[in-house]
A and B are shown apart, each in its own frame.
Chain A
């Protein structure tokens, strides 16, 4: 059944209703400003020259737009002693986030599928235990994880970070997929069994294509979490293998030389761009996925 239209519902009219409406939009407008203002300041500052920043107000529109600060942030800013900009660390983050997102999403989908469609004794207990993982504060696992990575010979490397994010992402991805698959009728899986498909055949050819909304939600969630992570990045990587979040911190928190606000702002935006991009591209699915299962489709 399609979602019911609500635009045709009769509502009150008259001066009172108009006043309320006006008030509503005023409040909404204020909230919009409140959220957009920091973005404006960041964007404006990032395209100003240092001289302009020092002279004018940080609220003013830029006089001459220049992308020098962006270029410097990307390719020449000093991170510690190395002055190659954010670029190498950005690539570290990509090399880490993409496999970690793919791995944790795939494994979460498999878990959710097995937990709902191939139920086995103890499935609920296993799910409850996995769910518990979603509530562990990450600080608690830092030391044991560091030891584990050391034993595995992955300490201070990007693959090590991939492993950490995959493991700690599983709780969330399993939860997402399990809740999605529980709404998929068992009859479909039974029909596929009668049709002769096996565990993986049903997963890849029937169930996975159906779960596009869940995949998109999980990918956005995982990508945002993993890309924005600072704690694991700073704890488990060293120098050249730092992700961009750690590098950004090192750029901004440098204690030598003149504070280059325009470079800092540009660097911060660069570090945040990928998550923004993922939201813009897949955001519509995100909202749809969050409400998936709320009404029968």
Chain B
């Protein structure tokens, strides 16, 4: 059975340092929620609070509708996977997996059955008699997951479980974690600093910064409608281009003129942003994701396309795409073009940007307009 989790004005401070500064969060049963943010934003502390490995300074934590503020980790019906795997080094894989059941006095045959079932599911059934020291990183990760799975808890907590794996294995395990979630349907709270992991795994993402949740929404909303510059800049790789500029009106249309740019390079606003009543010469930040800037004429023309020219500084082929680094008014920008689009460093290149996907933020508050 999956349980929901509710955090109500949760705060945590260590001495004089406030780490969690009043968080409200409601997680539905069966959801896969990813807490993402830069290091030091409090995401791991928040997970430890949910696990009961830290005590809240104030506020309430409810799991399955029950207040667990005073409930120790063992009685919270949770299981946790740690970043360092945290396997018991002197115990065999089998003993690692059964340790929790032993402390709970689960009958022997039930333990055997559980080990059997989950070791096969995770493909570690041939490793049961080895010690953690004899396993590879990926295998240790699987054992750590097995130890959590046999618990059959209402809530799974993952603390950066993939960050110690190499790139290829990380993608593999990411898929497996998603498969497991789809199969078991348990509530998952997953902490990571990797925004791609967050995007791929989550049903909803909570973007955290400095002890606050900046935005809590599904991945598409987070990506397409970031509430502020922080969320916009954190999610996406390469990051969103942020162009500081001023608004001006001309012939009933609204344009953004990048600071320090020539009069000819200006970006027309379309849609809601174009018609909103915004004051002239107001300072704004225009957000353009790299994949919304193409080589002119290479894509089917859309209604909101705007063409501009800029000299290319650096060409970075990645295989499926090529990144072009260029400058407008002294601000570095990145465009993600197709590998066929030939660009030469130092030469002017014709870009086309989909202004329908552009985001506009207030330069002072950083909030989306």
Q: Footprint of B on A, CB under 8 Å?
A: 185, 187-188, 190-197, 201, 205-206, 209-210
Contacts and interface: CB of A to CB of B under 8 A. Distances in A.
A210 B90 contact: yes
Nearest to A184: B89
Contacts of A210: 88-90
Given A196-B74, A209-B90, A190 B82 contact: yes
A64 B100 CA distance: 66
A194 B99 contact: no
- For the side of the interface on B, what is the size category? 20 to 34
B186 interface: no
A188 B90 contact: no
Contacts of A205: 99
Given A190-B53, A190-B80, A191-B147, A197 B86 contact: no
A195 B74 contact: yes
Contact of A196 (B86, B88, B104): B104
B78 A194 contact: yes
Interface in B45-61: 48, 51, 53
22 contacts: A187-B84, A187-B85, A190-B53, A190-B73, A190-B82, A190-B86, A191-B80, A191-B82, A191-B87, A191-B88, A193-B72, A193-B73, A194-B51, A194-B53, A195-B74, A195-B100, A195-B103, A196-B100, A197-B74, A197-B99, A197-B103, A210-B88
A194 B79 CA distance: 7
B83 interface: yes
Nearest to B78: A194
Contact of A193 (B53, B83, B84): B53
Nearest to B72: A193
Nearest to B159: A187
Contacts of A193: 53, 72-74
Point out which of A188, A190, A193, A194 has the most chain B C-beta atoms below 10 A from its C-beta: A194
Given A187-B86, A191-B88, A206-B88, 9 more contacts: A187-B82, A191-B87, A193-B53, A193-B73, A193-B74, A196-B103, A201-B103, A206-B91, A209-B90
A192 B84 CA distance: 14
A194 B84 contact: no
Interface in B98-130: 99-100, 103-104
Contacts of B147: 191, 195
B88 A192 contact: yes
Contacts of B87: 188, 191
A161 to B, nearest CB: 34
A195 B86 contact: no
Q: Which 4 A-B pairs have the closest CB atoms?
A: A187-B86, A195-B100, A196-B74, A196-B103
A194 B74 contact: yes
Interface in B132-172: 147, 151
B334 to A, nearest CB: 37
A197 B105 CA distance: 11
Contacts of B104: 196
Contacts of B79: 194
Nearest to B133: A297
Interface in B32-80: 48, 51, 53, 72-74, 78-80
B73 A188 contact: no
Contact of A191 (B48, B72, B86): B86
Contact of A188 (B80, B88, B151): B88
Contact of A195 (B84, B90, B99): B99
A209 B72 CA distance: 25
A183 to B, nearest CB: 12
Contacts of A190: 48, 51, 53, 73, 80, 82, 86
Contacts of B103: 195-197, 201
A275 B269 CA distance: 85
B85 to A, nearest CB: 8
Contacts of A188: 86-89
A109 to B, nearest CB: 15
Contacts of B89: 188, 210
A17 B268 CA distance: 77
B92 to A, nearest CB: 12
A209 B82 CA distance: 21
Given A196-B100, A196-B104, A185 B86 contact: yes
A241 to B, nearest CB: 40
A191 B85 CA distance: 9
A187 B51 CA distance: 13
Contacts of A185: 84, 86
B9 to A, nearest CB: 25
A187 B83 contact: yes
A209 B53 CA distance: 23
A187 B100 CA distance: 15
A206 B88 CA distance: 7
A205 to B, nearest CB: 8
A191 B78 CA distance: 11
Nearest to B76: A194
A204 to B, nearest CB: 12
Nearest to B80: A194
Contacts of A194: 51, 53, 73-74, 78-80, 100
A71 to B, nearest CB: 45
A284 to B, nearest CB: 19
A252 B321 CA distance: 89
Contacts of B100: 194-196
Nearest to B84: A187
A196 B73 CA distance: 7
A59 to B, nearest CB: 51
A210 B131 CA distance: 12
A18 B281 CA distance: 81
Nearest to A209: B90
A192 B144 CA distance: 12
